[in-house]
């Protein structure tokens, strides 16, 4: 399955969705008229504004007096999302407190943090009209009401009403929703607390993941973790911007970053996700064409960021949205990698499916009027993003476990003799040093037994090399059977084997070696219907403390004892004497 058509299809569909719906005209809604739309606020707690208000759209900057009130249409949930637009959207409503015995203090606020301008024209009880111009293009501190989105507070007199004309506008076209909320001021405070708490938990979680990612990068020295960390940081900044929290807390004096930084952080998120995926899924090796495509996208996005700094807006805006949406295709890429043998890619795919679901709904909401939920799907996308980040970490963990397993297997293979399955000389050296240190530190005494088959050349010559191999395998099994788990037996090379025996005395070590010798001599190897008779000789030396003898010295001592056994007529065991200079043969076991 080739990913290119999938990506092409996805990009084309999204572009189409944007272009068809972005500049769509408002739908026709039933009757028009100059009747004033009214919302009763006498018992207001929290409400969306669209139930009861009306709206009108124009591309001209008009005053309230120039508004064609007869053209206003009912503001319903179905026409909340306006796509990408810089048209002037007017909302008209009367807030009625006629039944209220006390004055009503309320807050009106917009759903998204990135709305450029919200002009509130208001008049109480048909009196003089006043105006409050709220804008996210001035420092945060200049907001009359402190909230992460544009908000306006007012008091409607008891038994009275407030007329509202609201003008919503983007200086530079962006995704506009007419979702406005109206809250009793006390209710607003408690709802805002809960909202900030929930958003705070998202940032807390992301920060914890970020710390884990940075620790991973530091400890494992893998750039993969670094790109995961970059991805977390840019996602975190993207959401901080979309939530309006970066403007409130991080750069309150930089309306430029608040307004212009969006597309840059969107692009950085896409870029870090793509670069992370290249490394994680080994695309260069597994999918070279997709890898080329990702590389080209990375260059394109880098160019877009530079272009943004040079003042280019609309193409960068579209590219940044499409790039985020196109990340959904990473779920498919992960699945393909999984099918090509990257087991850990399954969690990676799950992560992008979660991300994709939230994002797809948000993008469709922002660009079309298919859903009636305002921009609430942005929160689903944010929650999806948090789950995604967790699953990516799980995928990284699984990769790490797999890597450690592979490393252990490779290590075992490197230390193993393929014919007998015993350890090899490398394993012997490691074990020797370990046991010698332990013995020197007061542990059990350790003895080296070097074993060599007698006249093995004759076996090879008479029965063939394969038969010789069979004998070597049998000896391997015999050695395994005769030693205890804490002892070490290896194939030293050719027809030579070595044992490291832990025993309280040389005599007991000799007994073990003798048992092996006797059993080997008494048990011919059955090969293709023939019994192959065989014997072995062995030399034994005590390992001693590391300060006493080096590894090579001990091997030489055991080798000299082995030589003595061979010289003494083979099929016997010799123990090396007290020191390196003394002669072997202090003790002999075997058939004379
Ligand atoms: N089948 C088989 N033979 C091996 C292997 N490694 C070494 N040999 C053979 O082991 C034989 C060792 O011969 P020599 O060193 O002359 O010793 P020997 O015949 O055992 O005689 P002594 O050691 O003096 O008793 C050679 O024929 C090697 O080819 C192996 O992995 N498989």
Which of 420, 457, 469, when mutated, tests ligand 1's pocket best, judged by the most ligand atoms within 8 Å of its CB? 457
What is the model's pLDDT at position 424? 93
559 lines ligand 1 (CB under 6 A): no
Residues 186, 88: contact at Cβ < 8 Å?
A: no
Residue 546 has a pLDDT of: 83
Give yes or no for residue 493 CB within 6 A of ligand 1. no
Convert the pLDDT of each residue in 261-294 to its tens digit.
Answer: 888 999 999 999 999 999 999 999 999 999 999 9
The rounded Å distance from CA 458 to ligand 1 centre is: 8
Tell me the C-alpha to C-alpha distance, in Å, between residue 127 and each of 42, 66, 152: 20, 18, 19
* Residue-wise pLDDT tens digits, 100-138: 889 999 999 999 999 999 999 999 999 999 999 999 999
Question: Is the beta carbon of 496 within 6 A of some atom in ligand 1?
Answer: no
Strand 38-40 relative to strand 88-96, pairing: parallel
Query: Of the ranges 8-12, 81-85, 139-143, 384-388, which one carries the lowest mean pLDDT score?
Result: 8-12
pLDDT at residue 6 above 90? no
Block residue for tokens 């990375």: 298
Give the residue, 426 or 376, on which the prediction is more confident.
426
**Rounded to an integer, what is the distance from CA 566 to the centroid of its chain?**
63
Sorted by where each begins, the domain ranges of the chain are: 30-185, 190-409, 425-590
ipTM attached to this prediction:
0.94
* Average pLDDT over all residues of the chain: 88
Who contacts 71 (Cβ-Cβ below 8 Å, separation ≥6)? 32, 56
CA of 430 to the centre of ligand 1 (A): 26
- Which one of 388, 474, 495, 542 is the catalytic residue? 495
CA of 472 to the centre of ligand 1 (A): 10
455 lines ligand 1 (CB under 6 A): yes
Nearest CA to ligand 1 atom 26: 457
Tell me the C-alpha distance between 522 and 568, whole Å: 20
CATH number of 30-185: 2.60.40.2380
What sections of 415-505 are H helices per DSSP? 425-440, 456-463, 465-482
> Is 495 among the catalytic positions?
yes
Average pLDDT over residues 468-494: 93
pLDDT for 16: 42
Residue nearest to ligand 1 atom 28, measured at CA:
457
Cα–Cα dist 274/572, whole Å: 68
Q: At what angle do helices 255-280 and 314-326 cross, to 10 degrees?
A: 40
Instruction: Confirm or reject: Cβ of 215 under 6 Å from ligand 1.
Output: no
How far is ligand 1, taken at its centre, from the CA of residue 494, in Å? Answer: 6
- Per-residue pLDDT tens digits for 470-479: 999 999 999 9
State what percent of residues in the chain have pLDDT above 70. 90
Q: Which fold has domain 425-590?
A: Alpha-Beta Plaits (3.30.70)
Model-level pTM greater than 0.90? no
SS3 string, 453-476, reads: ECCHHHHHHHHCHHHHHHHHHHHH
- Contact criterion met (CB below 8 Å) for 161 and 96: yes
Instruction: Note the pLDDT of residue 589.
Output: 54
In which band, very low, low, confident or very high, does the pLDDT at 368 lie, cut at 50, 70 and 90?
A: low
Question: Residues for the chain: how many in total?
Answer: 592
The alpha carbon of 492 and the centre of ligand 1 are apart by a number of angstroms equal to: 13
Torsion angle in degrees (nearest 10) through CA of 436, 441, 446, 450 = 10
Neighbours of 300 (CB within 10 A): 13
The CATH number that domain 190-409 falls under is 1.20.1070
> Which pLDDT does position 369 carry in this prediction?
64
The answer to whether the CB of 219 falls within 8 A of the CB of 229 is no
């Amino acid at each position: 399955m080739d990913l290119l058509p999938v990506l092409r299809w996805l990009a084309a569909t999204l572009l189409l969705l944007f272009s068809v719906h972005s500049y769509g005209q408002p739908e026709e809604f039933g009757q028009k008229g100059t009747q004033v739309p009214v919302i009763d606020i006498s018992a207001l707690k929290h409400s969306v504004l669209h139930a009861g208000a009306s709206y009108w759209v124009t591309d001209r900057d008009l005053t309230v007096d120039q508004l064609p009130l007869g053209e206003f249409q009912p503001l319903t949930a179905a026409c909340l999302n306006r796509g990408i637009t810089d048209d002037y959207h007017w909302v008209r409503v009367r807030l009625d407190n006629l039944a209220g015995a006390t004055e009503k203090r309320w807050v009106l606020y917009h759903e998204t943090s990135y709305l450029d301008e919200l002009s509130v024209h208001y008049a109480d009880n048909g009196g003089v009209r006043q105006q409050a111009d709220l804008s996210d293009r001035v420092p945060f501190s200049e907001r009359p009401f402190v909230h992460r989105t544009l908000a306006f507070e007012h008091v409607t007199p008891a038994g009275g009403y407030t007329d509202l004309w609201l003008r919503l506008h983007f200086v530079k076209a962006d995704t506009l929703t007419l979702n406005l909320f109206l809250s009793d001021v006390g209710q607003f405070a408690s709802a805002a607390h809960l909202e900030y708490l929930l958003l705070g938990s998202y940032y807390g979680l992301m920060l914890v993941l970020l710390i884990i990612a940075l620790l991973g990068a530091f400890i494992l020295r893998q750039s993969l973790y670094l790109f995961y960390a970059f991805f977390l940081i840019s996602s975190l900044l993207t959401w901080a911007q979309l939530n309006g929290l970066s403007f409130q807390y991080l750069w309150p004096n930089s309306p430029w970053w608040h307004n212009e930084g969006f597309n840059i952080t969107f692009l950085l998120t896409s870029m870090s996700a793509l670069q992370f995926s290249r490394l994680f899924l080994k695309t260069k090796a597994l999918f070279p064409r997709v890898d080329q495509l990702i590389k080209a996208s990375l260059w394109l996005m880098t160019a877009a960021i530079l272009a943004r700094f040079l003042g280019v807006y609309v193409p960068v805006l579209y590219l940044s949205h499409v790039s985020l949406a196109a990340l959904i295709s990473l779920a498919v890429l992960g699945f393909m990698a999984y099918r090509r043998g990257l087991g850990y890619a399954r969690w990676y795919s799950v992560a992008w499916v979660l991300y994709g679901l939230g994002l797809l709904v948000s993008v469709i909401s922002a660009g079309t009027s298919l859903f009636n939920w305002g921009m609430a799907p942005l929160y689903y996308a944010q929650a999806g993003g948090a789950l995604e980040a967790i699953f990516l970490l799980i995928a990284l963990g699984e990769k790490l476990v797999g890597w450690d397993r592979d490393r252990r297997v490779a290590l075992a293979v490197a230390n193993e003799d393929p014919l007998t399955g015993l350890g090899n000389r490398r394993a012997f050296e490691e074990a020797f040093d370990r046991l010698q240190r332990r013995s020197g530190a007061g542990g059990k005494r350790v003895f080296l037994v070097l074993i060599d088959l007698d006249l093995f050349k004759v076996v090879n010559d008479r029965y063939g090399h394969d038969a010789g191999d069979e004998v070597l395998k049998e000896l391997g099994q015999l050695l395994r059977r005769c030693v205890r788990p804490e002892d070490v037996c290896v194939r030293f090379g050719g027809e030579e084997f070595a044992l490291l025996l832990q025993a309280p005395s040389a005599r007991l070590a000799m007994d073990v070696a003798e048992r092996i010798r006797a059993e080997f001599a008494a048990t011919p190897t059955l090969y293709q219907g023939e019994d192959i008779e065989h014997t072995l000789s062995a030399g034994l030396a005590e390992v001693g403390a590391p300060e006493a003898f080096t590894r090579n010295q001990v091997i030489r001592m055991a080798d000299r004892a082995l030589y003595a056994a061979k010289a003494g007529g083979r099929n016997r065991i010799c123990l090396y004497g007290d020191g390196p200079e003394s002669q072997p043969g202090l003790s002999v076991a075997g058939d004379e």
